[in-house]
Chains A and B, each alone.
Chain A
Amino acid sequence: MRALWTNIDYVASVILFLIGLYAIMVKGNLIKKLMGLNIMETAVFAFVMSAGIVTDGDAPIMGAGAKPPFANPLPQGLILTGIVVALSTSALALSLIIRIYRQYGTIESDDLWGVE
């Protein structure tokens, strides 16, 4: 339990991940599912960012007056890329949802069973 308390940042991202997974598994609405997917994505980002936390770390910008410790720049670079890719997948998924609605008139996945 003590280890969980010191790693509370990781625990928060695990909880967010599970909330997103719940939305994907239970919700029928496609937009709601996509929101769940986005929450899962941000949970993973938060997890990777937590691995890069340095206590009292400053932003890794080496201007005048910068002094260590610095936050870890590597997870930040990875997550920057990840956020943009998340935006691309969301945009594609939303346009698919709009197309599904135009074609079938519904975005509830239960109603989409058996449509022609």
Chain B
Amino acid sequence: MSRAFDLVLYGLLIACALAVIRTKDLLAASIIFSTYSLILCLVWQLRGSPDVALTEAAVGAGVTTVLFLVAVARTSRRER
């Protein structure tokens, strides 16, 4: 059962990673990257590592995403 759930989570991770590099809108890509971090955080919580899951949620999904958003706001939003 949990094996199947792992497979679903890994599938979602890979789908998010592909979506991040396929999306032309950098704002949307940043938000998808935050989703990617949250799924990764869930994976680690299920592995018995709450410390790393907390860090990933705070740093990966929170601060890194905000920094990406600021950078997108200060530069250009569309990717050619």
| Complex A–B touching at CB under 8 A | yes
Q: Do residues A49 and B49 form an inter-chain contact, with CB atoms below 8 A?
A: yes
The interface residues of chain A lying within 8 Å CB-to-CB of B40 are 42, 46
The interface residues of chain B lying within 8 Å CB-to-CB of A60 are 48
Contact digits for A35-47, partner B, Cβ 8 Å, 1 yes 0 no: 1101100100010
Q: Do residues B17 and A39 form an inter-chain contact, with CB atoms below 8 A?
A: yes
The interface residues of chain B lying within 8 Å CB-to-CB of A94 are 67-68, 70-71
The interface residues of chain A lying within 8 Å CB-to-CB of B67 are 90-91, 94
Distance (whole angstroms) from the CB of A51 to the closest CB of chain B: 11
Contact digits for A13-25, partner B, Cβ 8 Å, 1 yes 0 no: 0011001101100
The interface residues of chain A lying within 8 Å CB-to-CB of B7 are 8
Chain B interface size, as a band, is 35 or more
Q: Do residues B43 and A87 form an inter-chain contact, with CB atoms below 8 A?
A: no
Known contacts A31-B68, A97-B75; A16 and B55 CB within 8 A of each other? no
Q: Which of A84-116 contact B (CB under 8 A)?
A: 84, 86-87, 90-91, 94, 97-98, 101, 106-108
Q: Do residues A28 and B59 form an inter-chain contact, with CB atoms below 8 A?
A: no
Known contacts A9-B6, A35-B20, A38-B64; A28 and B80 CB within 8 A of each other? yes
Contacting B51 at CB < 8 Å: which of A15, A23, A57, A80? A80
C-alpha gap A8/B30 in the complex (Å): 27
Q: Do residues B55 and A98 form an inter-chain contact, with CB atoms below 8 A?
A: no
C-alpha gap A16/B40 in the complex (Å): 12
Q: Do residues B75 and A98 form an inter-chain contact, with CB atoms below 8 A?
A: yes
Contacting B52 at CB < 8 Å: which of A19, A34, A83? A83
